[in-house]
Chain A
Amino acid sequence: METRVIGKSVARKEGREKVTGRARYVDDLSFPGMLHGVTVRSPAARGRIRAIHFEGEIPWHEFTIVTARDIPGKNCIALLIEDQPCLAAEFVNHSEEAIVLLAHHDKYLLEEARRAVRIEIEPLPAIFSIEDSLARKEIIWGQDNIFKSFHVEKGDVDGACTGAAFVVEGTYETGAQEQLYIEPQGMIAQVSEAEGVTVWGSLQCPHYVHKALMILFGLPRERIRVVQTETGGGFGGKEEYPSMIAAHAALLARKSGQPVKIIYDRAEDMVATTKRHPSRTRHRTAVDLDGKLLAMDIDFTVDGGAYETLSPVVLSRGTIHAAGPYACPNVRIRSRAVATNAPPHGAFRGFGAPQSVFALERHLDRVAEAVGIAPDELRRRNFIREGQMLAVGQVVKEKVDMNGLMRRAFELSGFHVKRKQFAAENADGRGAVKKGIGFASFLHGAGFTGSGEEYLASEVAMEAIADGTVHILAGSTEMGQGTNTIFAQIAAEAMRLDCEQIKIVQPDTAYVPNSGPTVASRTAMIVGKLVETAGLGLLKLLTDGGFLQPGYTAADFSRACGEYVAKHGPLKSFVKYEHPRDLHWDDQKYSGDAYGAYAWAVYVAEVSVDMRTAEVLVNDFVAVQEVGKVINPVLAAGQIEGGVAQGIGFALYENVVWQEGRMVNAQMTNYVMPTSVDLPAIRVYFEEVPYGRGPAGAKGIGELPLDGTAPAIANAIAHATGVDVRRIPITAESLLEMLEPVHA
């Protein structure tokens, strides 16, 4: 298909503002009379609040002080349910839980004041591990510490295991990971009788914040307004927590009668906000003599922290991705999200899938070893093909060619040659540095799971003004991933206009419809399709009305808009998501068409391991994926490269150190993310098989790279060292411990 702007690396819409420093992030805004706000948090992981003391030589009368008693509506941050308080009133359930809010115009004095608030807590026994939570050492949430559980069952797993040639078992773990967007979280709020509650801030999902504030303030929707400011990265970390900060700033603004700004510093952002769920996965896999999968029995558990937040949804995605892109007749997946007294874990790019995919792809290398065949041969014999059924009962209707992706990834990385060469060199035993090469093959579903998109029923509006400028109105946010640019490209392509003629309206709940949260690799594929349809709708109004003829130019379009507006008034179109009728999902059985489309990928990592220091370097990384039509090659490659870099961090460097449920390395100096000297060349290749329901054929790609990077690296380390890696991050310290028995 010939395209004009789709498939072209159109420059980022807001690029000029960003490179000149003119882009306005929340901390760059200042309002007259604005106060600063801070949060006083729980020093204990679990307990009863006995007293709050305001001590020190602080002029307390100058401060606005807010506690749970100042909440006009319901004391909760409403999300899926309403279990998480906005401010702890009687009990605290995790360290750093918010209890008191302070505001003052002098932020230096404010910091002194924060330290002078002493919170007296009568401690209660707390639990900090998946094991203790499952063992119900203490019941800290609901009846049984379980936020959510799933059970997927296909065929006869136990029967298939009984007669199998090989049954391979293993347990795998992943650690928490901090999103580490470089712009810390922040909000500004203003509250008045006349205008209600308005917040401006760094966020992914304006309508999540909107809903939370309605319930907190007990106000109708038109009295709450949420505006997204330029957002310096999110990666899931600004999906749910911004509701909390918005609520805090708004409570202080309401009590003080002045605008209030809350900006977290890095340490507060790291100790208090969400992280990727730590996980534990157990596999029991039956294969025949040829390595054909007979049964997969998977037990997947994530640590949700103290409140439910998004854990059920994270668990859902992790569960569905747990069996990977393979055809297996008998599958059982049991999964659960459990409560611990850690701050709630939350959304992070990949959303449960990086955890379960790590376990599976590491496990399959071990299965291949048990069978005595190459790891790629094992995959090849089991890859899903068109017309076959995935674990959750979804028949793959798209064209899928995992073998082809693997072939290309292996050619580009020199996999086969290096696999042999490294093994020979490593066997020599004299070298201090050993090399390895490993891979992972995986899929990632785009959009909300199952019936999720149907329930969301996203909406997009479009308006062309008299001069021919087309405005796209959606709640979808730009946070670096390229929403503004690809929306403009999709609309421009559909309407045969130039990207410059398309304007993206700043997400503001007072003006834009709810196009759903900017998460789940759904913005390009789901919302982008709505943008395309809305654009075609506008065109139809013009052509049906006789204002525009086929073969029009941009100038013709502008003139037609002017004439239409003069005659009929505003030229608008409005589109609502309609779920494809042939996609079926059963929420009870947890079975059916889990996603409209999947991206498919094979990633190859080459590593070297210094056997004296256990330092791992990734020397080369090849990422091959099929993502439908690529809308913007530079932006798309940027998404994959950035995701792989985060995946390398997840695999090797990013280690959250916990003490009594509190992150103790909450600094960029001791929580280490990859720098420009830590990364290999990340080589990205796309296969493009247009997806019929995506805009111009596009599928979602945002989360994909987080799934396969860590297992590819872990498999490469296993190849280099012989260490049976079961847990990430594989820090030098942890690898050194694992290397010792190998050497002994």
Chain B
Amino acid sequence: MPERARKIRVSCVVNGEAASFEAYPMARLLDVLREELKLTGTKEGCGEGECGACSIEMDGALVNSCLVPALQAQGAKIRTIEGLAIGGSLHAVQQAFISHGGAQCGICTPGMILAAVNLLARYPQPEGTQIREGLSGNLCRCTGYMKIFESVLAAVRQGETRA
């Protein structure tokens, strides 16, 4: 058998808490989050950076965690869907997705919500085209996106879209 790569130790901050794990350097951050840190809210839809189901925030930027090697997480500040609600209180975008039909099957929802939150951090009062473009890396097969746009606008209207 060919010699296999050695695991490395990676330390980072995940959802505001220090985290440390061992992983192969080129292991996908997606797998590390799901398997080592048991944060299964981050989903895999395609494994090649096309669908956005695995979207997370890394140092404030939205990334596809299926394309990020574990070694790049060293020292990074990561936010996943599990880190969005504070206490029992949902983020305005999460609440809007519930009340405006933004979630159907729910598999794209964690990534879609993080993409929306990330968009609103950049454009607190987004125009229609900014919403469409901001979410274009996140595929949804259920909604036809209309209710997702409505959810984002509803969250904006609520005026409490904390970053």
Q: Are A and B part of the same complex? A: yes
Chain A residues at the B interface, C-beta cutoff of 8 Å: 9, 11-12, 14-25, 27-28, 57-59, 179-184, 230-235, 265-266, 479-482, 634-635, 637-638, 641-646, 667-669, 673-677, 679, 681-682
Contact among B41, B46, B109 for A667, CB-based, below 8 A: B46
User: B50 contacts A232, CB within 8 Å?
Assistant: no
User: A667 contacts B50, CB within 8 Å?
Assistant: yes
User: A181 contacts B101, CB within 8 Å?
Assistant: no
Contact among B41, B85, B95, B142 for A233, CB-based, below 8 A: B142
B51-97 contacts to A, CB under 8 A, are 51, 53, 80-82, 84-85, 90, 94-95, 97
Find chain B residues with CB under 8 A from A682 CB: 144, 146
Closest A residue to B147 by CB, please name it.
A638
User: A669 contacts B147, CB within 8 Å?
Assistant: no
In the bound assembly, the distance between CA atoms of A634 and B154 in angstroms comes to 14
B11 within 8 A of A: no
Find chain A residues with CB under 8 A from B2 CB: 57
In the bound assembly, the distance between CA atoms of A24 and B97 in angstroms comes to 18
| Contact of A479 with B1 at beta-carbon distance under 8 Å, contacts A11-B98, A20-B85, A669-B48 already known | no
In the bound assembly, the distance between CA atoms of A403 and B7 in angstroms comes to 68
| Contact of A638 with B105 at beta-carbon distance under 8 Å, contacts A21-B40, A21-B81 already known | no
| Max count, chain A CB within 10 A of own CB: residue among B34, B44, B48, B142 | B142
B29 within 8 A of A: no
The smallest beta-carbon distance between B33 and chain A, in angstroms, is 11
In order of increasing CB-CB distance, the 5 nearest A-B pairs are A21-B41, A480-B105, A232-B107, A18-B106, A645-B144
In the bound assembly, the distance between CA atoms of A186 and B99 in angstroms comes to 30
Closest B residue to A25 by CB, please name it.
B107
B141 within 8 A of A: yes
Contact among B43, B132, B141 for A25, CB-based, below 8 A: B43
Find chain B residues with CB under 8 A from A638 CB: 101, 104, 142-144, 146-147
User: A232 contacts B47, CB within 8 Å?
Assistant: no
User: A21 contacts B105, CB within 8 Å?
Assistant: no
User: A235 contacts B50, CB within 8 Å?
Assistant: no
User: A182 contacts B140, CB within 8 Å?
Assistant: yes
B20 within 8 A of A: no
B18-39 contact mask (Cβ, 8 Å, vs A): 1 or 0: 0000000000000000100001
In the bound assembly, the distance between CA atoms of A9 and B151 in angstroms comes to 14
| Interchain Cβ contacts within 8 Å, total number | 174
**25 A-B contacts (beta carbon < 8 Å):** A11-B99, A12-B98, A17-B106, A19-B97, A19-B109, A21-B110, A23-B106, A28-B34, A182-B45, A182-B139, A182-B141, A183-B45, A231-B105, A232-B106, A233-B107, A233-B142, A234-B105, A266-B48, A634-B100, A634-B101, A676-B135, A676-B140, A676-B148, A677-B132, A679-B146
User: B144 contacts A642, CB within 8 Å?
Assistant: yes
In the bound assembly, the distance between CA atoms of A681 and B131 in angstroms comes to 13
B17 within 8 A of A: no
| Max count, chain A CB within 10 A of own CB: residue among B100, B106, B110, B140 | B106
Find chain A residues with CB under 8 A from B142 CB: 233, 480-481, 638, 642
User: A28 contacts B105, CB within 8 Å?
Assistant: no
Closest A residue to B49 by CB, please name it.
A669
Closest A residue to B96 by CB, please name it.
A19
The smallest beta-carbon distance between A52 and chain B, in angstroms, is 21
| Contact of A19 with B103 at beta-carbon distance under 8 Å, contacts A182-B51, A668-B50 already known | yes
In the bound assembly, the distance between CA atoms of A280 and B133 in angstroms comes to 37
In the bound assembly, the distance between CA atoms of A642 and B145 in angstroms comes to 8
Find chain A residues with CB under 8 A from B98 CB: 11-12, 15-16, 19
Find chain A residues with CB under 8 A from B1 CB: 57-59
B120 within 8 A of A: no
Find chain B residues with CB under 8 A from A25 CB: 40, 43, 107
In the bound assembly, the distance between CA atoms of A59 and B4 in angstroms comes to 14
- Chain B interface SS verdict (over half): loop
Interface residues on B, range: 35 or more
| Contact of A21 with B82 at beta-carbon distance under 8 Å, contacts A15-B97, A15-B103 already known | yes
Find chain A residues with CB under 8 A from B140 CB: 182, 676
User: B103 contacts A676, CB within 8 Å?
Assistant: no
B113-133 contacts to A, CB under 8 A, are 113, 131-133
Closest B residue to A181 by CB, please name it.
B141
The smallest beta-carbon distance between B147 and chain A, in angstroms, is 5
User: A645 contacts B145, CB within 8 Å?
Assistant: yes
Find chain A residues with CB under 8 A from B136 CB: 675-677
Find chain B residues with CB under 8 A from A642 CB: 104, 141-144
User: B44 contacts A27, CB within 8 Å?
Assistant: yes
In the bound assembly, the distance between CA atoms of A642 and B104 in angstroms comes to 10
In the bound assembly, the distance between CA atoms of A18 and B105 in angstroms comes to 8
Given contacts A181-B105, A482-B104, A645-B141, 5 further A-B contacts (CB under 8 A): A11-B99, A20-B90, A27-B44, A182-B51, A638-B143
User: A637 contacts B107, CB within 8 Å?
Assistant: no
Find chain B residues with CB under 8 A from A58 CB: 1
User: B45 contacts A266, CB within 8 Å?
Assistant: yes
In the bound assembly, the distance between CA atoms of A523 and B144 in angstroms comes to 21
Find chain A residues with CB under 8 A from B42 CB: 21
Contact among B41, B135, B139, B141 for A20, CB-based, below 8 A: B41
| Contact of A232 with B90 at beta-carbon distance under 8 Å, contacts A21-B41, A638-B142, A668-B50 already known | no
Closest B residue to A19 by CB, please name it.
B94
In the bound assembly, the distance between CA atoms of A638 and B147 in angstroms comes to 7
| Contact of A679 with B144 at beta-carbon distance under 8 Å, contacts A20-B41, A642-B104, A668-B139 already known | yes
In the bound assembly, the distance between CA atoms of A668 and B140 in angstroms comes to 12
In the bound assembly, the distance between CA atoms of A182 and B44 in angstroms comes to 8
B153 within 8 A of A: no
In the bound assembly, the distance between CA atoms of A17 and B107 in angstroms comes to 11
User: A18 contacts B132, CB within 8 Å?
Assistant: no
| Contact of A24 with B40 at beta-carbon distance under 8 Å, contacts A19-B113, A230-B106, A266-B46 already known | yes
Closest A residue to B131 by CB, please name it.
A676
| Max count, chain A CB within 10 A of own CB: residue among B2, B103, B113 | B103
| Contact of A634 with B141 at beta-carbon distance under 8 Å, contacts A11-B99, A14-B106, A675-B136 already known | no
User: B80 contacts A481, CB within 8 Å?
Assistant: no
In the bound assembly, the distance between CA atoms of A237 and B95 in angstroms comes to 30
B14 within 8 A of A: no
Find chain A residues with CB under 8 A from B44 CB: 27, 184
